[in-house]
């Protein structure tokens, strides 16, 4: 076991959390600060197959006791954890900011508190669940929701704390034990979550964290037959590998895999609001899966829209993510920054027009200027593939049919944004745009009870509300012949 590390006055364990205890590893990996590169924050325990086995043993041993509790009893733990998250917002926000690079103000005011809301909402949803009851052909019927078993949660490096809580909360509320595998580029807020789990008094083994590299841990975790559910957010290639492992053991699997979402603007829209929201897609340097990265504007208002868009984009401030004046953060890692720059360079070489940006903000560091590209045609790589950086594309359309066709012209289908002043068009186009979530005249407002997930290569399955609780449960129909039994009391 390694000593805890002091990071700007906050104590963080670099170790795994298994069976209620900190567990070290003989080897480590580094995590560094995106906006103060190459400042090293910690050497983090690097798990292997033996670590994965230890976590699976702990989660399996703890499952019967946790599953035997009522939803209300489990809810006490989840509400206690939510209280602790709210009491530790400042520490969680600073560590997430340093480790992932997200803006500190956004983390303090919204993102970390969403983590507390995730645990509260799922505790309440699980407790309020009513079994479906009906009569059919002389039988009394009930659908019973039972805990499934240990759940493996694999989270990405962007918004790691919020996404960990979003996935772990329904698994725990449903009665499953959890093994969380955080991303190796931003693992530290998950370690703080484990501290809070311990403070909340969760039984040992109910919640476990295994840190490490996916290439070294992936097969051991996803292929373990003791794992009964797998929930993953990340890339399409990784999802294909995990999906094959899940299929080997016939394990239900959900995957949220990013997007290439359209931001469709009609001539009757509030152009100022649409342009402001479009410039807002550069938030977190575009490292947001649901971002509307393909701006598609009705031709007759394209120039007026662009004038407003450039004005709002010019107002962005790049810099230290701890500075309240900063509106655009650094990208998380030099490897990812190089990947994003590769998209821009290939677009330039292929004949796409770089309307603005297109280069690093400074000679060193992980910042890339807010970039807008007008593609030579819709088949352009930068239109069809997810960049996951501050790179938007700009296209125009002549009529509604062409706008919808462009919106639906990629293999992705996570979300969409539509701006229009017409109620009829809002309904018509909202239904026509291919995506798991479509916003009209707004963006990123989420009801936690609504289904969330993607279409096409944006993913399989749905999270959110009862959809997530059903995924983390085994559903049983119990049929009893009416009149054949009577109460003994």
Active site residues: 167, 256, 289, 463
Report the alpha-carbon distance of residue 161 to residue 258 in Å, rounded. Answer: 17
Report the alpha-carbon distance of residue 194 to residue 221 in Å, rounded. Answer: 19
CB neighbour list of residue 151: distance below 8 Å, 6 or more residues apart: 171, 176, 177, 178, 179, 227, 228, 229, 230, 231, 472
10 Å CB burial of residue 280 (0-12, 13-18, 19+) is middle
Return the SS3 of 6. Answer: strand
Enumerate the β-bridge partners of residue 44.
Answer: 29
Residue 440 tokens, joined: 């009209």
Report the alpha-carbon distance of residue 429 to residue 1 in Å, rounded. Answer: 56
Strands 16-18 and 21-23: antiparallel
- Determine the longest span between alpha carbons in the chain, in angstroms: 81
Report the alpha-carbon distance of residue 291 to residue 458 in Å, rounded. Answer: 13
* Torsion 211-387-368-108 (CA) sign: negative
């Amino acid at each position: 076991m390694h000593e805890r590390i002091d990071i700007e006055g906050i104590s963080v364990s670099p170790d795994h959390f298994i069976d209620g205890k900190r567990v070290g590893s003989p080897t480590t990996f580094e995590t560094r600060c995106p906006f103060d590169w190459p400042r090293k924050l910690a050497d983090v325990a690097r798990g292997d197959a033996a670590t994965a086995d230890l976590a699976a043993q702990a989660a399996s041993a703890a499952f019967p006791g946790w599953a035997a509790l009522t939803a209300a009893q489990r809810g006490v733990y989840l509400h206690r954890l939510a209280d602790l998250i709210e009491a530790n917002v400042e520490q969680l926000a600073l560590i997430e900011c340093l480790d992932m690079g997200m803006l500190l103000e956004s983390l303090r005011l919204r993102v970390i508190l969403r983590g507390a809301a995730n645990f509260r909402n799922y505790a309440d949803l699980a407790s309020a669940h009513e079994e479906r009851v009906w009569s059919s052909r002389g039988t009394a019927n009930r659908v019973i929701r039972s805990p499934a078993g240990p759940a493996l949660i694999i989270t990405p490096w962007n918004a790691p704390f919020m996404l960990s809580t979003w996935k772990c909360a329904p698994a725990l509320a449903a009665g499953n034990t959890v093994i969380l595998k955080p991303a190796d580029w931003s693992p530290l807020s998950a370690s703080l979550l484990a501290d809070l789990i311990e403070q909340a008094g969760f039984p040992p083994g109910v919640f476990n964290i295994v840190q490490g590299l996916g290439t070294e841990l992936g097969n051991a975790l996803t292929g373990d037959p003791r794992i009964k559910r797998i929930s993953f957010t990340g890339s399409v290639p990784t999802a294909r590998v995990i999906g094959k492992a899940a299929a080997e053991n016939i394990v239900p699997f959900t995957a949220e895999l990013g997007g290439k979402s359209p931001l469709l603007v009609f001539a009757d829209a509030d152009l100022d609001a649409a342009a402001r929201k479009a410039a807002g897609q550069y938030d977190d340097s575009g490292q947001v899966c649901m971002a509307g990265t393909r701006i598609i504007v009705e031709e007759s208002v394209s120039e007026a829209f662009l004038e407003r868009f450039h004005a709002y984009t010019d107002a962005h401030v790049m810099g230290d993510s701890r500075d309240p004046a900063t509106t655009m953060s650094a990208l998380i890692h030099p490897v990812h920054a190089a990947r994003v720059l590769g998209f821009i360079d290939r677009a330039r070489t292929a004949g796409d027009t770089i309307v603005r940006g297109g280069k690093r903000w400074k000679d060193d560091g992980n910042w890339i200027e807010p970039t807008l590209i007008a593609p030579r045609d819709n088949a352009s790589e930068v239109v069809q593939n997810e960049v996951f950086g501050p790179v938007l594309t700009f296209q125009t359309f002549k009529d509604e049919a062409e706008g919808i066709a462009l919106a639906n012209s990629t293999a992705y289908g996570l979300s969409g944004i539509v701006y229009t002043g017409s109620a009829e068009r809002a309904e018509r186009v909202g239904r026509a745009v291919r995506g798991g979530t479509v916003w009209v005249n707004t963006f990123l407002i989420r009801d936690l009870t609504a289904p969330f997930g993607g279409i096409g290569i944006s993913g399989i399955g749905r999270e959110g509300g009862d959809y997530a609780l059903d995924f983390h449960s085994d559903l049983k129909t119990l049929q009893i012949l009416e009149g054949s039994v009577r109460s003994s009391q």
